[in-house]
Chains A and B, each alone.
Chain A
Amino acid sequence: MAFFDIKGLVTPFTALKQFGKAPHTVTFPYHKKETAQRYRGLHFNDLEVCIGCGNCSTICMNEAIDMVNLEQIEGKAGDSGLRPRVDNGRCCWCALCVEVCPTGSLNLTKDYIYVTPDADSFLWTPGVSNPEGKDNISFHSDVDTSLSMFDRVPMPELDGKERVKSFAETMLYYTEEAAREEASRCISCSLCTEVCPDHMHIPEYINAIAKGEDDDAIRIIYDNNPLGEMCGKVCTRRCEDVCALQVRGDAVAIRWLKEYAVGRAETAEMLKEIVNPDIQEPNGKKVGIVGAGPSGLTTAYYLALKGFDVTIYEANEYAGGMVMYGIPKYRLPMDSLNKQIDYMKSIGVKIKFNTKVGKDITFDEIYKEHDAVFVGIGFQKPYSIGIKGEDAQGAFPAVNLLFDVNSGKTPDMGNKVVVIGGGNVAIDGARVSRRLGAEVVIMYRRRVQDMPADWEEIEGAEHEGVEIMPQTIPVEIITDDNNKVKAIKYLKAEMVADDKGGRPRPVPIEGSETIMEVSSVIGAIGQEADYSFLPEEYRNSIEINRGRMVVNEQMQTANPKIFAGGDAVNRTADAISAIADGYRAVKAIEKFLMN
């Protein structure tokens, strides 16, 4: 190359051609460039959709997100009442908070300019500080892209056709691997603990399962629930209704995971070894408990741990109350229940079986012999259906059927059974009847979606070939000459909106009267308590209102020595509420006797 390479010196001047061209970056007149569809700008939170689970705050690696109380948001079931507040001085716009938001309420917008001389105002609450952000959402995560794990690990179960052949357990339950996977979906927000009547430590035991520490999971469950495996199989699991994942996907299978954990301890001895409770020295106080149902057992277990001398008086041959006699064995096998009760006995709970209070022993005796009494009698007396022919042979309440079957009898149901009602007891009655070889129809006044029964139970019944006739009102049981059930007469109903704003009412359609030939009619429209064991003087000393004993927050009746809990007290009438009552009563009895 020559020293003066003319071409090489001149070529760069071709750049001068650019002078005549429009600039690349700034337009004139100035036009603000719109950001991309996915731009990760300032946050926006839909306050109505947000449930305050705090997952955004947990994932934020810069600790830029706080959960704070807002004036306009009240906490309620399924909503912590807290909302995220972002410190924009710390945020790095990685948008992981958006990716893990289970509800999809938190998003990023196209706005990115936020200039202020006041550094404190960098702290702001998405949705409150920028309500206009709603129309400006850019980076968001839908069900497909979200990092929340919306799909539940499927629960293996017996095939419907196989199930109706026996009373074998229908659910096959999670294997270790499946349980770990399912447990790892939980985001540990704890919204579930609020609606659990017993306020079990749900996120903690699920996390223990996820980490492979099943023993710790059992210990955490036994902290306030001595019937964990029973709950794991049959709980009404209101916790799952408020699961953060349930907003856009399947709730975590809290119930099945509990079953998995406690199920790891196969015998009462193993259970004792794992829970390894701290049993206190006897303190000399005696507590009598009427009824070995969930509430009575819970009270007895925790009182026994605290050194009380506890005796349960149980009318039947086995403990468990409605859980033993009211729940079919394909849902809760005998072995499982006995294991849990044997463990309780092993730590000092005494149970007197076949001892009906009011018959084999008087309430007065119990009252005088003990320093405090807990009454957990449950609802055993079924309501009558209230139609003609109800007293016919072949027409009986579902609880009686369940009691008989669970006591080992095989009643003859004939070939066609109609079950009246839409609750869990009705479904149980129907599915038991299927197992006894009958064809089964459930008649329910309202629509299927109005049925109070667990949706999994309804599905289970359908898989087993139970026919559900919604919007059907039975009006008469037709009998033959021997007063035996022959047929049932019913009306179809249409749903009419309630003027007072309540749920729609079924109104019979005129002329829709139909008769169906059946061999048995099972009523399952509810039960009530039976106070006949309680002498007049005691009945007067405690208050009974509309069939329920009235108690204060400590489960104490007007008679300070008598405590009560379970179905005969609370409005929800399920096992977990009974356990919660029992657990509360323990604290109250301890306070009452030890102070």
Chain B
Amino acid sequence: MTENSLDKEQQIVNHLVGTFQNLTGKVKRNRRIEVSIEKKQITSVLNYVKDHLGFIHFSHMSCVDWLEDGYFELVYILWSPEQKIQLLVKALVDRENASVENADMIWRQLNTYQREIREMFGVNFIGMKGDKEFILEDWDNMPPMRRDFNTVDYIQEVYFERPGREDAQNVRETISKRTGEEIPEVATKYSRD
């Protein structure tokens, strides 16, 4: 693809970079743009691109837990039916007491997404209305989509194993037992899991 064909995309990125401070953006490929903003800019950027740049269709909103780095990444995916361009707006939120401004007055369906993210990740949307419970019922554990919620531990705590499969063998163990091989610690982490 030639550079010219990305003009439209690049113009939008340049426009946004010029309009908002601390906004970084790039063209991922044709029809795909991505911008990163600060969390306090979320409503203003969303409002702006909706009202002025034609991104009127709200496709999707997602939340990614970057546990190791200590933040959630909120991703708003928008589509411009006019220009046929997809825009990803990304904002980082601290994992500790995560909270951002409510944005469901911009697109009402955002309310559903925000309710789910509040429930599954524990992100608080300041000023949002809507039932606390969306999918879960009487849940008093950690928000389950957080990376540190361990499903295996939870299952072992809540359910019991059906008996009858205890005789399962591990191939690696079977062979090392047969040969007397002692696997050192530096190696075990590379064994088949």
Contacts and interface: CB of A to CB of B under 8 A. Distances in A.
A230 B171 CA distance: 29
Given A68-B168, A188-B192, A189-B171, A223 B187 contact: yes
B179 to A, nearest CB: 5
B164 A67 contact: no
Mostly, the A contact residues are: mixed
Interface in A385-438: none
B190 A207 contact: yes
Nearest to B170: A67
Interface string A343-372: 000000000000000000000000000000
A190 B171 contact: yes
Contacts of A187: 192
B187 A54 contact: no
Interface string B151-193: 0000000000010110111111011101111011011101111
A69 B171 CA distance: 10
Interface in A57-103: 57-58, 66-69, 75, 80-82, 85, 87
Contacts, number: 94
Contacts of A220: 184, 186-187, 190
B187 A58 contact: no
A67 B168 contact: yes
Interface string A185-222: 00111110110000101011101100101001001100
Contacts of A52: 171
B187 A190 contact: no
Contacts of A194: 175, 178-179
Contacts of A191: 175
A123 to B, nearest CB: 6
Contact of A219 (B164, B171, B183, B186): B186
A52 B172 CA distance: 11
Given A120-B164, A123-B164, A223 B169 contact: no
Given A58-B192, A69-B169, A82-B171, A205 B187 contact: yes
Contact of B191 (A53, A203, A211): A203
Contacts of A189: 171-172, 192
Contacts of B170: 54, 67
B186 A80 contact: no
A220 B181 CA distance: 13
A203 B172 contact: yes
B190 A211 contact: yes
Contact of A80 (B167, B171, B190): B171
Contacts of A193: 175-176, 179, 181
A321 B102 CA distance: 77
A80 B192 contact: no
Contact of B181 (A58, A199, A208): A199
Contacts of A205: 187, 190
A193 B178 CA distance: 10
Question: Which of B164, B179, B180, B186 has the most chain A CB within a 10 Å cutoff?
Answer: B186
In this complex, the interface size class of chain A, counting residues with CB under 8 Å from chain B, is 35 or more
Contacts of B164: 120, 123
A80 B174 contact: yes
Interface string A161-202: 000000000000000000000000001111101100001010
Contacts of B162: 119
A464 B1 CA distance: 49
A214 to B, nearest CB: 12
Given A123-B165, A188-B191, A194-B179, A53 B184 contact: no
B174 A81 contact: yes
A66 B167 CA distance: 8
A122 to B, nearest CB: 9
B120 to A, nearest CB: 22
A82 B190 contact: no
A85 B168 CA distance: 9
Given A68-B168, A193-B179, A216 B174 contact: no
A201 B183 contact: yes
Contact of A190 (B176, B186, B188, B193): B176
Contacts of B171: 52-54, 57, 67, 80, 82, 189-190
B169 A82 contact: yes
Given A80-B174, A123-B164, A216-B190, A68 B169 contact: yes
Contacts of A188: 172, 191-192
Contacts of A68: 167-169
Contacts of B188: 204
A53 B186 CA distance: 23
Interface string A447-475: 00000000000000000000000000000
A463 B17 CA distance: 63
Interface string A285-297: 0000000000000
A190 B178 CA distance: 12
A208 B192 contact: no
Interface of A: 52-54, 57-58, 66-69, 75, 80-82, 85, 87, 119-120, 123, 187-191, 193-194, 199, 201, 203-205, 207-208, 211, 213, 216, 219-220, 223
Given A66-B165, A190-B176, 20 more contacts: A52-B171, A58-B193, A66-B168, A68-B169, A82-B174, A87-B165, A120-B164, A123-B165, A189-B172, A193-B176, A193-B181, A194-B175, A194-B178, A199-B176, A201-B184, A203-B172, A203-B190, A207-B192, A223-B184, A223-B187
> Which 4 residue pairs are nearest across A and B when measured between Cβ atoms?
A66-B168, A204-B187, A54-B171, A188-B192
20 contacts: A58-B193, A66-B168, A67-B171, A67-B174, A75-B175, A75-B178, A81-B174, A82-B171, A87-B165, A190-B175, A193-B175, A193-B176, A193-B181, A199-B180, A201-B183, A201-B184, A204-B191, A205-B187, A205-B190, A220-B186
